[in-house]
Amino acid sequence: MDPILAVQVRRLWPVVLAALVGAVFTLVHAAVFVPQAARYRTAIAHANALGLMVDPAHPAQKQMLPVKVFNVVMTNSMPAAEADARSQSGTLGAETAQELSNLANGRGLEIMVAEPGVMSQQPGSIEVRAHLHLRGTYGAFLAFVDDLAHSDRLWALERFTIVPSANGHDDFDVYVASGMLKRTGGGS
């Protein structure tokens, strides 16, 4: 080999090595990462079509509520005109007191008093209150409170008083509130 050519090749070996490493990286990128990125973009497009937000940088056009949240919202809402009419006629309060009475009765509590309470009107919601005077065992009362907690309705146990008795049946004075949302617009 020519000595001048050998010196030039020795000087250029880092450039040749860098070109070979670059070619290997380019081939690995084309063979592995480009198809992976295409699958990722396809999965994001499918998720967005289903209404799921997978990539915060590319949010879906319209966010859908999860099914459980949608069911709770629909259970605890009604069209605004209907909500106003039912609250003014007292029907909403009476239905709330009746629903609470049914829950208490289902747990073996004796209903002494069940009366609608004061309603609070807000622009987007109504808060309906009811007062119950119950008689029964402490375990039955706890089961009643548990039923309120696991219901699809928005219940708030505002306050209660327990008066124990010697015969094992206690008296419970209970004040409960329920929230009702007013639907407006296209969802009415």
Structure tokens at 73: 């919202």
pLDDT at 60: 53
Determine the Cα–Cα distance for residues 154 and 80; give it in Å rounded to an integer. Answer: 18
- What CATH number is associated with residue 86? 3.30.70.60
C-alpha 166, offset from chain centre: 44
Q: Report yes or no on 70 lying in a domain.
A: no
170 and 110 assigned to the same domain: yes
91 and 42 assigned to the same domain: no
Determine the Cα–Cα distance for residues 36 and 42; give it in Å rounded to an integer. Answer: 10
**What residues have CB less than 8 Å from 9, skipping those under 6 apart?**
none
54 and 104 assigned to the same domain: no
Domain end position, chosen among 11, 39, 64: 64
6 and 42 assigned to the same domain: yes
Average pLDDT value for residue range 33-62: 74
Full residue range of the structural domain in which residue 48 is found: 1-64
Average pLDDT value for residue range 118-147: 92
111 and 176 assigned to the same domain: yes
Structure tokens at 58: 């590319």
Greater model confidence, 41 or 48: 41
110 and 36 assigned to the same domain: no
Lowest-confidence region among 1-10, 47-56, 82-91, 111-120 = 47-56
Average pLDDT, the chain: 86
Structural domains of the chain, count = 2
pLDDT at 32: 92
Q: Report yes or no on 82 lying in a domain.
A: yes
47 and 100 assigned to the same domain: no
Greater model confidence, 23 or 119: 23
Model pLDDT for residues 62-104, shown as the tens digit of each residue? 566 778 888 888 888 889 888 888 888 888 889 999 999 999 9
What percentage of residues in the chain have a pLDDT greater than 70? 89
